[in-house]
Amino acid sequence: MPELKHQSTWIHRCRSTRKDNYKLNSRSLAQLKESYANFVNILGSLIILLLG
């Protein structure tokens, strides 16, 4: 049954790729949150400078 073996490895590859994509997405989401926090900090500093 060489076909079945090939199919199972292909399915496994698909799963692992999906898992890697999920890892990448969560990592980029974390970076996005971080950059947003930095942006908010800079904005807050500017407002304080303008009001102060």
Q: How far is the C-alpha of 46 from the C-alpha of 13, rounded, in Å? A: 49
Q: How many domains does the chain have?
A: 1
Question: pLDDT at residue 1 above 80?
Answer: no
Report pLDDT for 3: 64
Q: How far is the C-alpha of 18 from the C-alpha of 20, rounded, in Å? A: 5
Using 50, 70 and 90 to split pLDDT, how confident is the model at 48? Answer: very high
Identify residue 16 by its one-letter amino acid code: S
Mean pLDDT, the chain, rounded, equals 84
Question: pLDDT at residue 12 above 70?
Answer: yes
Domain that holds residue 13: 1-51
Task: For the beta carbon of residue 41, count every other beta carbon within 10 angstroms.
Answer: 10
Whole-prediction pTM: 0.52
Identify residue 19 by its one-letter amino acid code: K
Q: How does pLDDT run across 23-41, given as a tens digit for each residue?
A: 888 888 999 999 999 999 9
